[in-house]
Every structure is written in structure tokens, then in C-alpha cells.
Chains A and B, each alone.
Chain A
Amino acid sequence: MRPDVNDAKPRRLPRQRPRRPQSPRARRLISLLGTPLTLSRPAARARLALVLGSALIASLVLAPDALANFIFPKSGGSPNANAISSLYRITLYIALVVFLIVEGALVYSVYKFRAKKGAAAAQIHGNTRLEIGWTIAAAAVLIVLTVVTFIKLPSIINPPNSDAGGLVLSASVTEPTPPNGQKLTVCVTGRQFIWRYTYGTDCLNHAFTSRLPYSYQEMVVPEHTTVVLAIQSTDVVHSWWVPSLGGKVDAVPGYTTYTWFKVPHTGLFHGQCAQLCGTNHAAMTALVDVVAPDQYRTWLGRQQQAIQASNSIVGPLRTILTASGNLGDT
């Protein structure tokens, strides 16, 4: 019970309680709780260090499996997402060390240097060497992080070649491109509140004249293939993000932004718009369905046929409606 400054009546000062004999078990429990009094003996201190240290190591070893989604960003879908995740891990480990040192010093000083009877505060005004020291230490940590970031950067922004099992592609040089120039381009267009995907190298410029196939909300792409996304928006700012396939890229009207991914296995990946884009922002989801190259070709053919079938129905319908004056001014 610590005395309180605000008490109306003066209270007795806390007296040093006589040490009661404690069982070893109780002592260990107390030492785990961090009461400094029982830590005076070196043996107890060493034991505590051992316990805490092994707990820390155990949690670090076990954590990645048990808590992967909890402490690391999503990865596993694409090399860039993996690279970001490993960069994040390096940052996390450095950060954990800094965190433990700083919080440890804080907690220790608040426990250790509480006002006691007869204790006087050391009247220190500062220490220039110490100031310079921790400035340099902080800067050094950040320099390390900078170097690591720039080492990792190429693997995050530059797309690699497709794997052997991927789709056979021809080269194009208009966009960010893997070394051999072969990639699959998908144009991603954000609009309130759905994503539209147009498939084909020309999708930025000739989507309509080339009658390229397209789909909404769910993107179908082949595995083992470097897919480059050209991202645009037709109305407000959106942000393309499928966590397992890499970082997010804003879709800003008037700009074209690019990202890429290459998925080594089939699967379904979930994502959603990450930039507030209006009322139904929360419903603007995206699905990336990664299939075998053959399946992709089949799907693309079917999609194209379905679109053309619809178009061929819409054409005559439009003629009829226009003739009867039911299509407004167009």
C-alpha cells in the first residue's frame, strides 16, 4: 500500500516489513511477478533470466506457425508478398529488441526509483556523451533498416520471369516487365463499387476495339505466370489490394499504376478495396482465382463467347429500342 499524496490526513510512512521465510516455490512465483526485493540474490536473478529467456525463445520459435496471421502480413501467394513479409520480419525483430530495451528501462526505473524514506534524487542535468551515444545508436538501427529495405526492394518491385509450367506468352515493352519480357497483362479498373478486369496485352489502349474479354469482381489467371496489373479508376480513388499477392496500389483517376504477382499454385485469394471510395466501400471486394494455364485458356474462350453472345443480343435489341424511341436521346 503506497501512501497517497491526496490524503487529507497524514498517514504513516510504509515501514520495511520484516522478511518472512518463504518456500522456494513461492519465491520463484514472486520472482516471476517481478518483485525486485526477492531478486537480490544472484542465483534467483539467473533463474529468472533463464525462465524469461527460454519463454522468449520458445515464443519466437513457435510463433510463426501458430500466429502467422497475427504478427506477420499475409504472404505465400506471390514472391513480392513473400519479400515484403520477410522485410517486415526483419523490421519486427529489430523493433522487438528496441521495444524490450526501452520499455524495460522504463519499467525498471519506475519500480526501482520510487520515492522512499531517506532516498534523495540524483541531481543530474544531463550527459553529452550519452546524448550523442543514443542519437548514434538510433541512427545506426535506422541505417541498417534502410540498407535491408533497398536490398529487398528489387525483388518486390521487379517482376521475375514466368516459370516453365506457366502460360506461353509473347513479349511487350510498354509496362514494367520481367527480364525476358514475357508476361500476362490484366487491366484492373476500379469504379464505385466493383473491380473490372480486362485480359490482354492491349487492354490499356484497345480494350474495346480489340474486343478483349473481361470479367467483374473475380479475376481468373494462370499459375506459374507473371501477371502484370495495370490499374486505373474511372471515378474516385480506389486501392487495389489482395494481401497474399503483394502490397496495395492506389487506383487514381487520371493515372495508371502497375503491380504484378506470380502465383506458384492454384487457389483462391481474397482482397478488397482499401481506400474509402463511398457508400459501398466495404462491399468492393476482389477475388483472384488462380487456375492451371489450360483451364485459364478454356475459361478465357468461354468468357469471350459469352460476352459476344450477349453483345449479339444487345445489338438488335438496341436497334429496336432506338427505333421505338425507348432508349432516350442516345
Chain B
Amino acid sequence: MSTTESTLRPVPQVIAHEVLRPRQTKRWLDWVTTTDHKKIGIMYLVLTFVFFILGGVEALLMRLQLSVPNNTLITSEHYNMLLTLHGTTMIFLFVVPVMAGFGNYFLPLMIGARDMAFPRLNALSFWLLLLGGIVFYLTLFFHPPDAGWWSYPPLSEALYSPSGGQDAWIFLIHITGISSLVGAINFYATVVNMRAPGMSWGRLPLFVWTILVYAILLIIALPVVAAAVTMLLTDRHFGTHFFDPTAHGSPILWEHLFWFFGHPEVYIMILPGFGIISEVIPVFSRKPIFGYKAIAASTAVIAFLATLVWAHHMFASPVPVVVLGFFMLSSFLIGVPTGVKIFNWIATLWRGSIVMTTSLYFAVGFIAIFVIGGITGIFLAVFPVDWQLNDTYFVVAHFHYVLMGGAVFTVFAGIYYWFPKITGRMLNERVGKLSFWLMFIGFNATFFVQHALGLSGMPRRVYTYQPGLGWSTYNLISTIGSFILGVGVLVTIANAARSFKHGKVAGPDPWKGNTLEWYTSSPPPANNFDVIPRVRSVEPMRDIRRQIERETGVTQKTGGSERFVRV
């Protein structure tokens, strides 16, 4: 895989051509046996969206049950199963792997590589993800797990959860854990070894920075949870007593181990989203990213601090006050680099010439929502306040602001931004904006009132509630909002399904992008690039366009956005 210095050619009428015949004559066999990072990336994205829909249906069922007090639509047993399925699916089968999907597809393209460092391992990590999902969802036909996505023992021990569903949950963590770990090592090796000539660390695209840190965090955090669930497994079946208080084991040990993984996991989910935003905003502001170094550095600082904040999930557990104080301070600290990122994004928009594409809508919507999630995070970090708010709907609202309004909106920004590169066709912008407004309004209607629910005393994970507690109206609003949100998601899925065949042809560089994935045709050929340009800045594509303009005297016409702006 040698990288060739290029003489610059007019971009992007370039650039690459099909160098290999398809390996298989049957198309499905080609997908099953592929080691092409792009095909694997597409399979990742499609599969994780299937899980997203499953998790979404579970969420809507729960919202339906809670829409009115004393509802009997869903029994408490089924409700506990639903909340476990929903949480586990969204975290382990959607948000984490969907970021791996984007990483798979775009990381090699953005650093000018022709594939990942270990293509076969890459395929392995996808198929393990599928296997993990199947193992988990097969429990639907038996007895799904019902101890919640953090499965606190002793509730998750054999005595209280005798069904095999809990074991399936453990195996899901094992299998998707190996999948993510293999993927993480692959990302790390790829970024370290396969960057285009001239792409020093200071010129690495910010999305690649975040995927790198995502990989490091996965490598740090996953072994811990793998060990914890293995201990739970031996507790359940092989007579150990790690978490069994009747034999001097400790449930608190599980809480520490689980959250030592669980909090880095939150940043694993959101950091690549930060990366997507850091790519989308400069492109559509027609400005360089403000404070590249600050954003890259804050990513690393967040990753470091992410391993030091876990016990803020345990403020109500038996933990000494000095420990509570430490974890309050570390949780405060992690707000600083996060704030720095937000300020830098806004500064990037500031004095820009903003092209209002759907992708930018989602990016700006993400910032607006994430600010709220970040601020409520500060409330929860103040541990005496957390004693009131923990385990209530306030927390549910908080982490949905961070992960649904946060991570999922970045995923949608990424979809609208990169769909043309993946399929060669544009998504319909008008429909996309409709989808955005439905999602934005639906999201806030669903989750903003949940702050109030938590403050007025509604604990999370209850399958029903009595009338007269002041919760009924908020719950009804929340349920209505969740269905608006659901329709918004469906609109984008319909948009993608239609645009895949009928969308406007995109061309190599419809947005005037900054990074190298736009230096090849859409969709890129199997080898990605015929020639790999020497990288001279964080925005190699802009350099290339400039050089061509200098040499030819012609403004590069691409896509449609130059109608607003001359770069």
C-alpha cells in the first residue's frame, strides 16, 4: 500500500478508477466476504440503524405505557424487559457501533489511506457485532433480561434473575466488547501508520482525532466491563460470590467496575459526534475551524478525565463524603474542555458565511441541545443536589439531552453530510429540514418536561404511577413528543431510501469539503485514491481547490453551495 506523491489534477473530476473486478459474481456473497472498509462501514451503518429502530420502538412502547397513570397496556415484567432492551440496544448496538460505522467508512478516506490497517479484523468486528445483536435479540423468544442496562447485582444474580436473558446480556457485552476492541485497535493502528504524506498530527482531521481517542478509551474501558460481566457470569453459574453480600461479596464492587467502564462509555459515544460536528461546521461556515489545537487537545483532556469521574453515578451509594467531593470536582473539571469545544464551534460560526444545509441544521441543533445536557450535568455533579435528582426522570432527561439530542443529532448531521459520498446521491434537503424540525421539536417536547417530572419526584424505571401526583400532564406531553420525534426519524429514513435511487447526483465534492474524502469520486472506488496528495494543512481539499484556481484561473464549481459564497 504505497502512497504516491501526486501532481495535482483538476479536482474533483478526478481521480480514481476501479482497479479490481468484484471478487464474487454473486452480490450478496461479495458483501458477506468483503474486507473493504467502505462496504463494512455501510453494513455497520445499516445494521446499527436497524437496532436504532428496534430501540426506538421499545422506547415508544414505554412512552405509551406511561402516557396515562395506572395504565395497563404493558405489565411491569414486560416494562422492565423493555427498559433493559432499550438501554442496552441504544448503547451497545447503536451509538457505539454507529460511530464505528462512520469511522470505518471515513477514517481511511480522510487520512488518505486505501483501507484500514487490518481489513480482515475489520470484517471480524462487524460480524461480531451482528452476532452479539442476534444473541441478545433471540432472548425475545425466551425471556429477555430485565435488570436494567447496568444490571446491578444482587438483582442480576441467579437468585433474583434466574432466566437465561441475563446471561444473554452478559454475552452481548462480551461479544460486542470484542467487536469494539478489535475495531479500536484497528482504528489506532490505521491512524498511527497510514496517514497521507504530510499529514502530521497537527493536520489530522478533527473527526479522526476523535475516532483515535474513541479507540483509546475503548481499549481502556472495555476490559474492565468484560471482567465485571465475567465475574457476574461465574457468580451466576459457577459458585463464586464476587457480588453476593451473603458471602461477603460486595454489590458496590460491581458498581465501581461497571461505572469505571460506564462513564468512559458515555464519552466513547459522544466524542466521535463531536468530531462530526467539528467537520460539518467549518465546511458550512466557509471558515477554518476556530481553535483546531484547542478542540483536539480538549478531546484528549476529556478522554483523560473520563476515566476519573465514574463514581458520580454512585452518589447515593455507601461512599465516603471525601470520595463524593473528589468525583464532584472531577465531574466539574470535565465540563471545562467540553465547554471549550462548544465555544470553539460557536466561534467557528461567528463571522462565517453560513450555508444552511440540513447537515448544519442538525449540527446547530446538536449544540443547542447539548448545551442543555451539559448544564444539567453540572446540576448532577453537585452531589447533594444529585441526592435529590439521581435515579429520577431528571437524569433520564439529562442523558437523553446528551446522547439522543447529542450523539444522535451528530449522527444525523453526519448522515446528511456524508450520504452523497457513500451513495453518490444527495439526500433531499427540503425533506431533511422537515425531518430536523420534527426531531428537534419532538425531542424537546419529550425530554424537556422530564426535568420537571424528576423534580416533582418521579423515579425512573417505574412502569406506572398514581394520578394526583402532578406527573400525568408531563408524561402525556412527553409521550406525544416522543411520537413526533419518531416520525422525524422515519422521515429521514424514507428520505434515505428514496434518495438512494432517485436523489440528485452528487459529484465528488458537493459541499466544498475540507478533507480528503472529497478528493475521490462518490462513491469512492475500491482503492479509494489513485494518487494521494501531499497534505499541507488541516484542510487539504481547500488547498487543492486554491491551487487549481491559481493555475487555471477558474473557480471550481462543485455541487450547489458556491452559489452563495466565494471561498
Q: Chain A interface (Cβ within 8 Å of chain B)? A: 2-8, 10, 13, 69-74, 81, 83-85, 87-88, 91-92, 95, 98-99, 102-103, 105-107, 109-110, 113-117, 119-127, 130-131, 134-135, 138-139, 142, 145-146, 149-150, 152-153, 156-157, 192, 235-237, 239, 241, 243, 246-250, 252-257, 270-283
Name which of B11-19, B27-35, B115-123, B324-332 contacts chain A.
B324-332
Distance of A307 from chain B, by nearest CB (Å): 27
Distance of B180 from chain A, by nearest CB (Å): 26
Q: How far is the CA of A250 from the CA of B378 in the complex (A)?
A: 21
Distance of A193 from chain B, by nearest CB (Å): 10
Instruction: Point out which of B246, B347, B504 has the most chain A C-beta atoms below 10 A from its C-beta.
Output: B347
Say yes or no: A72 contacts B154, CB within 8 Å: no
A-B contact pairs, 14 of them (CB 8 A): A5-B510, A6-B430, A7-B560, A69-B470, A74-B457, A91-B382, A121-B286, A237-B155, A241-B391, A247-B384, A252-B245, A273-B459, A275-B152, A276-B147
- Mark B439-466 against chain A: 1 for CB-CB distance below 8 A, else 0: 0000000000000100111011111110
Distance of B255 from chain A, by nearest CB (Å): 9
Question: B91: CB under 8 A from chain A?
Answer: no
Q: How far is the CA of A276 from the CA of B463 in the complex (A)?
A: 11
Instruction: Point out which of B246, B248, B317 has the most chain A C-beta atoms below 10 A from its C-beta.
Output: B317
Say yes or no: A13 contacts B455, CB within 8 Å: no
Q: How far is the CA of A117 from the CA of B248 in the complex (A)?
A: 73
Q: How far is the CA of A84 from the CA of B285 in the complex (A)?
A: 43
- Mark B334-346 against chain A: 1 for CB-CB distance below 8 A, else 0: 0110011011101
When distances are taken between beta carbons in the complex, the residues of chain B under 8 Å from A138 are 335-336, 339-340
Instruction: Point out which of A13, A84, A237, A249 has the most chain B C-beta atoms below 10 A from its C-beta.
Output: A237
Question: B259: CB under 8 A from chain A?
Answer: no
Given contacts A5-B355, A6-B428, A121-B352, contact A87 B563 (CB under 8 A): no
When distances are taken between beta carbons in the complex, the residues of chain A under 8 Å from B566 are 120
Distance of A214 from chain B, by nearest CB (Å): 22
Say yes or no: A110 contacts B364, CB within 8 Å: yes
When distances are taken between beta carbons in the complex, the residues of chain B under 8 Å from A124 are 287-288, 290, 347, 351
Q: Which of B344, B364, B371 contacts A102 (CB 8 A)?
A: B371
Q: How far is the CA of A144 from the CA of B286 in the complex (A)?
A: 38
> Which partner residue on chain A sits nearest B431 by CB separation?
A6
Question: B396: CB under 8 A from chain A?
Answer: no
Q: How far is the CA of A251 from the CA of B252 in the complex (A)?
A: 11
Say yes or no: B390 contacts A248, CB within 8 Å: yes
Say yes or no: B384 contacts A149, CB within 8 Å: yes
Say yes or no: A6 contacts B292, CB within 8 Å: no
Question: B251: CB under 8 A from chain A?
Answer: yes
Q: How far is the CA of A105 from the CA of B343 in the complex (A)?
A: 9
Q: How far is the CA of A103 from the CA of B153 in the complex (A)?
A: 41
When distances are taken between beta carbons in the complex, the residues of chain B under 8 Å from A92 are 379
Distance of B76 from chain A, by nearest CB (Å): 5
Question: B8: CB under 8 A from chain A?
Answer: no
Given contacts A113-B351, A113-B352, A281-B76, contact A145 B382 (CB under 8 A): yes
Q: How far is the CA of A273 from the CA of B77 in the complex (A)?
A: 17
Q: Which 6 A-B pairs have the closest CB atoms?
A: A247-B387, A254-B245, A6-B429, A115-B564, A282-B462, A121-B286
Question: B194: CB under 8 A from chain A?
Answer: no
When distances are taken between beta carbons in the complex, the residues of chain A under 8 Å from B354 are 109-110, 113-115
When distances are taken between beta carbons in the complex, the residues of chain A under 8 Å from B353 are 113-116, 119-121
16 further interface pairs, Cβ-Cβ under 8 Å (given A6-B504, A274-B316): A5-B429, A6-B427, A13-B563, A71-B455, A91-B385, A95-B379, A98-B375, A102-B346, A110-B364, A125-B291, A130-B291, A145-B378, A235-B154, A256-B318, A279-B77, A281-B463
Distance of B538 from chain A, by nearest CB (Å): 9
* B396-438 interface (Cβ within 8 A of A): 426-430
Q: How far is the CA of A192 from the CA of B147 in the complex (A)?
A: 14
> Which partner residue on chain B sits nearest A242 by CB separation?
B457
Say yes or no: B328 contacts A146, CB within 8 Å: yes
- Mark B294-332 against chain A: 1 for CB-CB distance below 8 A, else 0: 100000000000000000000011100100010011001
When distances are taken between beta carbons in the complex, the residues of chain B under 8 Å from A153 are 321, 384
Q: Which of B317, B356, B457 contacts A2 (CB 8 A)?
A: B356
When distances are taken between beta carbons in the complex, the residues of chain A under 8 Å from B211 are none
Q: How far is the CA of A3 from the CA of B379 in the complex (A)?
A: 42
When distances are taken between beta carbons in the complex, the residues of chain B under 8 Å from A270 are 457, 469
Q: How far is the CA of A186 from the CA of B98 in the complex (A)?
A: 50
Question: B561: CB under 8 A from chain A?
Answer: yes
When distances are taken between beta carbons in the complex, the residues of chain A under 8 Å from B390 are 247-248, 274
> Which partner residue on chain B sits nearest A253 by CB separation?
B245
> Which partner residue on chain B sits nearest A285 by CB separation?
B466
Q: How far is the CA of A70 from the CA of B477 in the complex (A)?
A: 14
When distances are taken between beta carbons in the complex, the residues of chain B under 8 Å from A123 are 287-288
> Which partner residue on chain A sits nearest B317 by CB separation?
A250
Q: How far is the CA of A138 from the CA of B337 in the complex (A)?
A: 9
Instruction: Point out which of A110, A120, A283 has the most chain B C-beta atoms below 10 A from its C-beta.
Output: A110
Say yes or no: A103 contacts B371, CB within 8 Å: yes
Distance of B148 from chain A, by nearest CB (Å): 5
* B160-196 interface (Cβ within 8 A of A): 160
Q: How far is the CA of A274 from the CA of B459 in the complex (A)?
A: 5
Given contacts A6-B430, A91-B385, A250-B317, contact A142 B332 (CB under 8 A): yes
Distance of B501 from chain A, by nearest CB (Å): 16
